[in-house]
Structure 1
Amino acid sequence: MPRNYKRTTDRQEWDPDSMKKAVQAVFDGTMGYLKASKTFEVPKSTLQDRVNRFRQNNDLDCSTRKGLGRFKPIFSISQEQSLVEHVLIMERRLFGLTYKDLRRLAYQFAESNSIDHCFNKDYKLAGEDWLAGFMKRHPELSLRAAEPTSVARAMGFNMVSVNRFFDLLEEVIDQHKFLPTNIYNVDETGLTTVPKRQSRIIALKGRKQVGLASSAERGQLTTAVLCVSASGNYVPPLLIFPRVRMKAELLDGAPPGTVSVCHPSGWIQSDIFVEWLNHFISSVKPKKEDPVLLLLDGHSTHTKNLPLIEKARDNGVVILSFPPHCTHRLQPLDVSIMGPLSAYYTQEVNSWLRNNPGRVVTQFQLARLFGAAYCKAATIQNAVSGFSKTGIFPTNRTVFGEADFAAAETTEIPSTTPSTSADPYVNPTPSTSFAPIVHSSIPSTSPLLIDPPPLSNNTPPVPTTLKNQNRVTMSPADIMPVPKISAVRKRATDHRRGKTAIITSSPYKNELMTISQTKTPKLNLNQPPKTKKPKPNIINDNICLYCLEEYGSSSSRLDEGWVRCRECEGWAHEGCTGYDSANLDNFVCMGCVASR
């Protein structure tokens, strides 16, 4: 062959989607090889090869996928899609997978379905190269830093509780014809002289520890009570300083109209919240003829406060409480304002420390720093967006779909076939500790679930070995099931966690009065049973730090011991803490841990 001879080949670039259409056209008989090659601009010889592959395995996606040279793909497109779907389901259920978990799942998936692979059999993991290619082929997946979400919130935010709240919300709005200017949300947030979280800073790469100046290791807590309407009207905040006497200079630089009170703990109290309601009434000026709706969480200072209810009923304030453990999704202030406020406050504290070297942030600088952050975060856009995202105004319960309630499905008991035993959970088999999840997003005609469809009469039969390569006998959900409880542990006593309710309604008020009148008079509220150490008369000593149940109430667990936090000296039920009995002496509540 002459040296200057250039051999012509058809190895040019082609689009997989165009190849897929060309293969389908040839397979259906609507076009020949030459016409399909010219119509869809794909090489003729490559088209012939892809059509032959499709006749063998009957997988159009796999047959038209570009090759990797001598490397062959381990999983087909449908098999990889099943992995993607399972990863997303685990993430929605709050059991997200790490890179190592995904590599282990891929290895087990290949082994369980007898798929040829080149994974590491010693470590039983898929390779890092496969992982990098998998993430590149599925850009909808990304590595994210997860936000810790308590089990109580995962269980509490369920479809039943949310629908019950929207039923009450629609009821009061239809009854009183509330406009966005008359719908308010109130909530408290903690401000410390040492911010809870710090912004990222630029430092030398590879340095093991990077520091940032702060006023102290642990700051003093000041509570700010914020309130905003669905139209973006903000009620001046209330600041609760952790001290006994008030000084006028504590409010220097605070937002205009800010009011303040003092309490040794700096926490919200029942009488303080009544004072805030007076401030709210003087600012909003509601009337019985023109009432307003006030949305708040189920804290005991809000929902078990008879003077508050009387004051609200006399002044035309309708109070509706959110379901327990749902405020992170239902409360407008939590959704759109508290986050920016915390970030801006941290920036203001760091800026003040940078401009005042050698000094520390105290209570006398807090109002000014809070005021600067509040003016940035308390915007009309944030307020309107918060009420819209939560579906409160415009009222729309469909803002939350099935994916939003996926985390709560872990605690739902699966339906089982009736048995002869009276208790369906007696002697459960080991396999019932986890309930396999059926992927509803996979259609019934998926090649994962059934055999490939039959070919036309003029095509050769599909070999059994090739036929089984695309069939999955064990799905990723079978290999790594989504955790799901098999039975509900019955408590020794009935523990009422609270509920969404119209606080100012007559039935709720009468129920609360009945509970307050039926308390045992001989009960010593300062000495809970089954406690080795006597319980001193401290701040909030009658309220559990976790479940917010008041000690001595009719719904309180009187047979369960109480334990005291080593740092803030607050009390909580032993069962609420999650600590082992051997570690109760070292108990530190979550509030103290978060403020470190």
Structure 2
Amino acid sequence: MDKASRALAQSVPPSLSDSYRARADRSGVAHTTLHHRARGRRSIEEKAQSQQYLAPYEEVALVRFLLQLSDLGQPVRIKYIRFLAFCVTGQRSEADRPLKPPGKNWTRGFEKRHPETQARRVKALDWSRHEKNTYWKITHWFEVIGRVLKDPAISKENVYNMDETGVMLSMLGTVKVLVGKDDMRDYRGARVKRTLITAIECISGDGRYLDPMIIWPAATHRSNWTTFPTPGWQYACSDTGYTDSYISLQWLQRIFDPATKKQARGKPRVLICDGFGTHETLEVLEFCFANNVLLCRLPSHTSHKLQPCDVAVFSPLKAAYREQVERLERGGVNTIGKEHFTSLYSPAREKAFTSKNIIAGFAASGLFPFNPDRVLRSMPKPLADLTIPKADEVNVEACRENEVPQTPVTPVTLVLSTRQANETCRGTCTN
């Protein structure tokens, strides 16, 4: 509401004049402006709204989205904002939809219209230095995610955690064996393929899990790698076997959105993931904004404490996969290849991704039920929080007159004093 509208809306006591001139004198607004506004003339701001790229309610939605990402430690770059604005207009009818994003100076006016936002330059901070603030990062995480989860529109079944896990085909590790008494070797012969395959997994707050996306370390996919029946699974390839920005977007479009959209029934979906850079691309942000998905990024180096997948699911998954590998080796297969992976990983998933494990993961992460102390109580507080007594607060008693200070008793002084007592006793007995 502008100044003139506020002046007209104010109630006037009976003792004061209610004329336009009297209201103008009290508010500092020209009486002609009040006169025209009372007869329906729009303010300059209201006239400009019809010429703006986004409608007021669309700008409010965009501001809320940007502030939420900022609170979660994932502020959006300035150059991305106008493309997100273009994404907002995709919800309009085709006749009202613009053909291209707003101009490069649009973001500057957007910032002026919303004083709750500001542009700021931030510098990259090395993770080794950033790690020193882990306790405060986790505390801030619970402050932000607590506000998200308390929203009445957010329900437990619409809160998801997505994470990638790398699985070594042969699961290289130590095992307990029986050998000869004089055999000092700490290794065993094996035909080993050091091939790492990545699986993108996703679980929900009510104990469900989605189909995985398997990423092969290859340029192209071969049909003999997927002869084992895995309905619903999706596959991708990358040179390194790790996820990238394209695969992250493909996972959202091919697995997450189709599997969760009907369950959400138009309500917001919360997707908790780690701080890996592939989740922060413009395409991912546009997709999440257009489909009412709130992307919540975990603080760096905290996934072992805050990520339900890491806390309670991936460890039994690796153990179950190792059992499957050992079963295959007992059957005479010494070399595990990509063609064996799906037949080993599928039963391991069924054993590890139980409703009990998933719910336990969200509970141990302090999310459901919401309990930050579940995580913080196992972490040492920073040294700045430890209270060190001042010099004047410590009571140091002075020695009394003619009193010899005593050396504190330690194992060494105790032995020496015992030896001296024995020698004194021996000398007394001799005399």
**What TM-score, normalized to structure 2?**
0.57
Q: 2:155 aligns with which of 173, 179, 182?
A: 179
CA distance in 2 between counterparts of 1:465 and 1:381 reads 67
Alignment of 1:387-466 (within 5 A): 387-401=362-376, 404-406=379-381, 409=383
What letter matches 2:272 in structure 1? L
Could you tell me which residue of structure 2 aligns to residue 297 of structure 1? 274
Whether the 8 Å contact between 2:135 and 2:379 is mirrored in structure 1 is: no
Deviations 1:395-447 (A, max 9, x none): 111123465134x54xx6x9xxxxxxxxxxxxxxxxxxxxxx8789xxx99xx
Could you tell me which residue of structure 1 aligns to residue 335 of structure 2? 360
Whether the 8 Å contact between 2:219 and 2:239 is mirrored in structure 1 is: yes
Q: 2:206 aligns with which of 228, 231, 240?
A: 231
Q: Structure 1 residues 396 and 245, CA, compared in 2 at 3 Å: closer, same or farther?
A: same
Whether the 8 Å contact between 1:214 and 1:353 is mirrored in structure 2 is: no
Are 2:137 and 1:161 equivalent residues in the alignment? yes
User: Root-mean-square deviation (CA), in Å?
Assistant: 3.3
Whether the 8 Å contact between 1:291 and 1:318 is mirrored in structure 2 is: yes
What letter matches 1:293 in structure 2? V
How many correspondences in the alignment?
279
Q: Percent identity?
A: 24
What letter matches 1:260 in structure 2? Y
Offset at residue 159 of structure 1 (A)? 2.4
What letter matches 1:294 in structure 2? L
Deviations 1:434-488 (A, max 9, x none): xxx8789xxx99xxx877xxxxxxxxx9x967965469xxxxxxxxxxxxxxxxx
Offset at residue 213 of structure 1 (A)? 4.5
Alignment of 1:175-574 (within 5 A): 175-216=151-192, 218-253=193-228, 255-278=230-253, 279-285=255-261, 289-303=266-280, 305-357=281-333, 359-401=334-376, 404-406=379-381, 409=383, 469=408
CA distance in 2 between counterparts of 1:208 and 1:281 reads 55
Whether the 8 Å contact between 1:157 and 1:326 is mirrored in structure 2 is: no
Q: Secondary structure of 2:167's match?
A: strand
Offset at residue 158 of structure 1 (A)? 2.3
Offset at residue 335 of structure 1 (A)? 1.0
Q: Structure 1 residues 254 and 264, CA, compared in 2 at 3 Å: closer, same or farther?
A: farther
CA distance in 2 between counterparts of 1:248 and 1:264 reads 18
Q: Secondary structure of 1:280's match?
A: helix
Which structure is higher in helix share? Answer: 2
CA distance in 1 between counterparts of 2:356 and 2:132 reads 29
Offset at residue 170 of structure 1 (A)? 1.3
Q: Structure 1 residues 198 and 154, CA, compared in 2 at 3 Å: closer, same or farther?
A: farther
CA distance in 2 between counterparts of 1:210 and 1:254 reads 38
Larger radius of gyration: 2
Gap regions ≥5 residues in structure 2: 1-126, 411-431
Deviations 1:479-531 (A, max 9, x none): xxxxxxxxxxxxxxxxxxxxxxxxxxxxxxxxxxxxxxxxxxxxxxxxxxxxx
CA distance in 1 between counterparts of 2:130 and 2:189 reads 36
Q: Structure 1 residues 156 and 285, CA, compared in 2 at 3 Å: closer, same or farther?
A: farther
Offset at residue 253 of structure 1 (A)? 3.5
Offset at residue 208 of structure 1 (A)? 1.6
CA distance in 1 between counterparts of 2:198 and 2:331 reads 26
Q: Structure 1 residues 342 and 403, CA, compared in 2 at 3 Å: closer, same or farther?
A: closer
What letter matches 2:244 in structure 1? Q
Offset at residue 198 of structure 1 (A)? 3.3
Q: Structure 1 residues 154 and 345, CA, compared in 2 at 3 Å: closer, same or farther?
A: farther
CA distance in 1 between counterparts of 2:129 and 2:198 reads 23
Deviations 1:206-262 (A, max 9, x none): 52214335332x511211001101211000111011223323442333654211112
Gap regions ≥5 residues in structure 1: 1-150, 415-436, 452-460, 472-596
